[in-house]
């Protein structure tokens, strides 16, 4: 691949990776430890991911269990979960915290599916913006360096093919997540 295109290919790949990480945080009725990825607890004055201050396990399909390495962190973890947008009340028994995920209602599934679609659209826009930036850069190349119009046209066509490929990938990732959410 042309070095001038590689930069834009990498940026488009990052857009897909970002979308996948966003989707990992959307719960689909089953316990998924990735819903905790964005949560931080105050650990000796430092915001620290929950996975780094305790053992996160899934004893049953709809339960996440968090066993902190220090009992003093139970309150901090509980507070982080309550102030988050998870919408789940933690059960604290004095040694571990359990998050019990209720079955999703049909209405909630549809809302989540809309959210999934919205996040996918945002990444499509990001990918198209990368294409626009690439095309602008190629036009500048034609003015500043000795690059022929045919070569610029070729670069623009390659970026368009790359864009189409990543837009399709966004659609595939979105379909998979929507299917996962809508499956009862």
Looking at the domain 33-100, which fold is it?
Answer: Gyrase A; domain 2 (3.30.1360)
- SS3 sequence of 46-60: EEEEHHHCEEEEEEE
Pair 90, 77: CB distance under 8 Å: yes
By DSSP bridging, strand 63-68 and strand 54-60 are antiparallel
Per-residue pLDDT reduced to its tens digit, 42-100: 888 889 898 889 999 988 888 899 999 988 888 888 888 888 877 788 888 888 999 88
Q: Name the pTM for this structure.
A: 0.71
Q: Where in the chain is the domain with CATH 1.10.132.20?
A: 3-24+105-182
Per-residue pLDDT reduced to its tens digit, 144-164: 877 788 888 999 999 999 999
Name the CATH architecture for the domain at 3-24+105-182.
Answer: Orthogonal Bundle (1.10)
Share the mean pLDDT of the chain.
88
Is residue 175 predicted with pLDDT exceeding 90?
yes
Q: Where in the chain is the domain with CATH 3.30.1360.40?
A: 33-100
Q: How far is CA 66 from CA 96, 121, 128, 131, in A?
A: 6, 34, 41, 43
Neighbouring CB atoms inside 10 A of 94's CB total 7
Q: How far apart are CA 181 and CA 104, in angstroms?
A: 9
């Amino acid at each position: 691949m042309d070095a001038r295109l590689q930069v834009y290919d990498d940026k488009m790949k990052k857009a897909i990776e970002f979308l996948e990480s966003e989707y990992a945080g959307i719960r689909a009725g089953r316990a998924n430890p990735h819903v905790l990825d964005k949560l931080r607890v105050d650990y000796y004055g430092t915001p620290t991911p929950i996975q780094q201050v305790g053992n996160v396990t899934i004893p049953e399909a709809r339960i996440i269990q968090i066993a902190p390495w220090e009992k003093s962190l139970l309150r901090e973890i509980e507070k982080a979960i309550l102030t988050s947008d998870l919408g789940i009340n933690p059960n604290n028994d004095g040694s571990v915290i359990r998050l019990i995920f209720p079955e999703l209602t049909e209405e909630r599934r549809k809302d989540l599916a809309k959210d999934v679609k919205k996040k996918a659209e945002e990444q499509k826009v990001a990918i198209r913006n990368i294409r626009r930036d690439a095309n602008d850069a190629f036009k500048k190349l034609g003015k500043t360096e000795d690059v022929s119009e045919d070569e610029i046209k070729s670069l623009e066509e390659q970026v368009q093919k790359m864009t189409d490929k990543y837009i399709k990938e966004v659609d595939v990732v979105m379909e998979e997540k929507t299917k996962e959410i809508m499956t009862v």
